[in-house]
A = this chain, B = another copy of it.
């Protein structure tokens, strides 16, 4: 799954140029023309990186940067500032605000792409991607150890959580009871295999309507639908 990069600029030409080049480099892109929608998209889509024009109609780029840093959910997202002014003052403001880099217009698309790559590589090492599994409205966050369905948090047991995560992680592929016993329970040989069935039942109950995502493959085991 490719990283998504949010591009915030009010000049369509610039946006198109960036979209074209970044997509060619293998990134997904998302765009916003002004500050308010930019902030909303950042919160909703949680992009891997934001390319942010300093001069925007409405909210200034600097303010966006500040608000982005203030929220723990988005504080870790790297920012590259775009600026038409070459003066150092602007650079300082940008960098001290917590921007990770800046580029002055006019810029070479190739250079920007390289900077994006560098920063994302660096970010990949340090921050944890908050390993999260998703299927429709069902969200499983391993770091938070939290499951939500349609925004509502579900109260799962430790084993139930592990079972769900394992099934979801291998969605589409059938897991035999033995496989599950080994990977979820850590068991080796002969345990009553009905144990798995019971936990699947409890899991389905708690998942409610999403419980149907877990299919039983008769004679084999269980599978999370694709």
Query: What residues of chain A have their CB less than 8 Å away from a CB belonging to chain B?
Result: 69, 72, 75-76, 78, 88, 91-92, 95-96, 98-101, 108, 110-111, 114-115, 117-118, 122-123, 125-128, 130, 143-145, 157-159, 171-174, 217-220, 223, 226
Question: How many whole Å from A179's CB to the nearest CB in chain B?
Answer: 11
Q: In the assembly, what is the distance between CA of A226 and CA of B146, in Å?
A: 11
Question: How many whole Å from A93's CB to the nearest CB in chain B?
Answer: 10
Looking across the interface, which residue of chain B has its beta carbon closest to that of A176? B145
Check A223–B127 contact: CB distance below 8 A. Answer: no
Check A115–B88 contact: CB distance below 8 A. Answer: no
Task: List 20 additional contacts besides A130-B173, A157-B219; criterion CB under 8 Å.
Answer: A69-B127, A88-B110, A92-B111, A92-B114, A95-B115, A95-B117, A98-B128, A99-B118, A100-B122, A126-B127, A143-B172, A143-B174, A144-B172, A144-B223, A145-B173, A145-B174, A157-B218, A158-B218, A158-B220, A159-B219
Q: In the assembly, what is the distance between CA of A46 and CA of B219, in Å?
A: 30
Q: A110-B88, A157-B218 are in contact. Are A145 and B223 (CB under 8 A)?
A: yes
Q: In the assembly, what is the distance between CA of A110 and CA of B118, in Å?
A: 23
Question: How many whole Å from A76's CB to the nearest CB in chain B?
Answer: 5
Check A118–B95 contact: CB distance below 8 A. Answer: yes
Question: How many whole Å from A72's CB to the nearest CB in chain B?
Answer: 7
With a cutoff of 8 Å between Cβ atoms, the chain B residues found around residue A100 in the complex are: 118, 122
Check B126–A122 contact: CB distance below 8 A. Answer: yes
Check B127–A144 contact: CB distance below 8 A. Answer: no
Question: How many whole Å from A19's CB to the nearest CB in chain B?
Answer: 21
Q: In the assembly, what is the distance between CA of A101 and CA of B95, in Å?
A: 13
Q: A126-B122, A144-B172 are in contact. Are A96 and B114 (CB under 8 A)?
A: yes
Q: In the assembly, what is the distance between CA of A218 and CA of B88, in Å?
A: 53
Q: In the assembly, what is the distance between CA of A172 and CA of B75, in Å?
A: 14
With a cutoff of 8 Å between Cβ atoms, the chain B residues found around residue A118 in the complex are: 95, 99-101
With a cutoff of 8 Å between Cβ atoms, the chain B residues found around residue A144 in the complex are: 172-174, 223, 226
Check B217–A127 contact: CB distance below 8 A. Answer: no
